[in-house]
Amino acid sequence: MTPSLALPRVGLGGGPLGNYLQPISDAQAQAVIDTAWAAGIRYFDTAPFYGLGLAEQRLGRALRARPRSAYLLSTKVGRLVKPGSNGSREASIFAVPDDHHVEWDFTRDGVLRSVSDSLDRLGLDRIDILLIHDPDRHWPQALDEAYPALADLRAEGVVRAIGVGMNQSRMLVDFVKHADPDVLLAADQCTLLRRSAFEELLPLCQERAIPVIAAGLLHRGQLTSHPPDAPADVQRIAAACQDHNVPLTAAALQFPLQHPAVHSILVGAHEPAQITTNLAALDHPVPDALWHAL
C-alpha cells in the first residue's frame, strides 16, 4: 500500500447504512455519516451488497459535499445488484424492499460492471480501495478472473489499492500466497470471540507488510453488554474486563489493534450516538494486565 493510502485507526463500516438488521431513515443515515465526519473519521467502507445498493447511495450522497482528497473510500466486487426478486434469502439481513437481488459474479466483465454501478450509485469520481467480497465458494474464478481485473484497474490508476474482504482466515491466507493484495479486510476472525486470524493470517501479513482492516468486532452487539443469558465465553470476557475496570466494548474494539498487522478497525452505527460511544471506547485506557488475562 502506498504511503498516501495509510489507513486511519478507525473507519465507518457501511452495513448499517444499508439497513443491516433494522431499517433507518435517509436522514438518520446522513446524521451517522455527519457525526463520524465531525469526530474525525476519514475512512468509509461500503459494498453493493449492503442494502442492495442503498448503503452506497446514502454514503455517496453524504460525501459528495466533502473534499474528495480528504477521505478514503472502499467498496467491493463479487455481487451484482439486479432488479427484481429471485427468491433468494441472502439479502434478508437487510431491511429493504424485495425489488432487487444480487447475483454472484467474479468474472472480469462482472468486476468492471460492478465498479461502474458502484460509481453511479455513489455519485463519486473514484474509489480508493477495491475489495473482492466473500469469494468463499468462488475461489478459482476470484483468483483467476476477478483478481487480475482488479490488478489492471490498479495499474491503470482507476483504483489506488486492491484486496479481499472475507469472514474466514484460510482463504485470505491463500490470497496472500497466490496474489499481490495491498490490503485485506478480515471480519469476525480477529476478535475477542474468534481469533483464527492470529494463527497464520496476521503473522503472514506482518511479514509481507500487508495492512489488515478488522471488522465485526462486536458480534452483533454481544460484546457491548453481557446479559445473564450471554454465552459462557462472553461472560468470561466480560468478567475479566470488569475486574480491570474496562468497558467490554473498549476491550473488544481495541483488541485486534494489539497486533501490528492490524492497521484499522471498522465500526458501524445505526444512530449517531453509537459513533460517539464507540470512539470513546476506542480511547479508553486498557492495562496490559487485561490483555494478558484475555
User: How far is Cα 159 from Cα 149, in angstroms, rounded to an integer?
Assistant: 11
How many domains in the chain? 1
The CATH number of the domain holding residue 75 is 3.20.20.100
**1 is a domain residue:** no
> Which residue, chain included where needed, has cell 495491498?
182
Domain extent, residue 106, equals: 7-293
**152 is a domain residue:** yes
Are 152 and 123 a contacting pair, CB within 8 Å? Answer: no
Retrieve residue 193's grid coordinates: 470471540
**2 is a domain residue:** no
**81 is a domain residue:** yes
- For residue 230, the SS3 value is coil
**254 is a domain residue:** yes
Three-state SS for 135-177 is: CCCCHHHHHHHHHHHHHHHHHCCCEEEEEEEECCHHHHHHHHH
Predicted structure pTM score: 0.96
Three-state SS for 254-265 is: HCHHHCCCEEEE
User: How far is Cα 235 from Cα 227, in angstroms, rounded to an integer?
Assistant: 8
**285 is a domain residue:** yes
Specify whether the backbone of 41 is left (phi greater than 0), alpha (psi in -120 to 50) or beta: beta
Could you say which of 20, 50, 71, 147 is catalytic?
A: 50
Picking from 82, 162, 160, 165, the residue whose alpha carbon sits closest to that of residue 125 is 160
One digit per residue, pLDDT tens: the chain, 294 residues?
444 578 999 999 999 999 999 999 999 999 999 999 999 999 999 999 999 999 999 999 999 999 999 999 999 999 999 999 877 888 899 999 989 999 999 999 999 999 999 999 999 999 999 999 999 999 999 999 999 999 999 999 999 999 999 999 999 999 999 999 999 999 999 999 999 999 999 999 999 999 999 999 998 888 987 777 888 999 999 999 999 999 999 999 999 999 999 999 999 999 999 999 999 999 999 999 999 999
β-pairing verdict for 100-104 and 79-83: antiparallel
Annotated catalytic residue 43: no
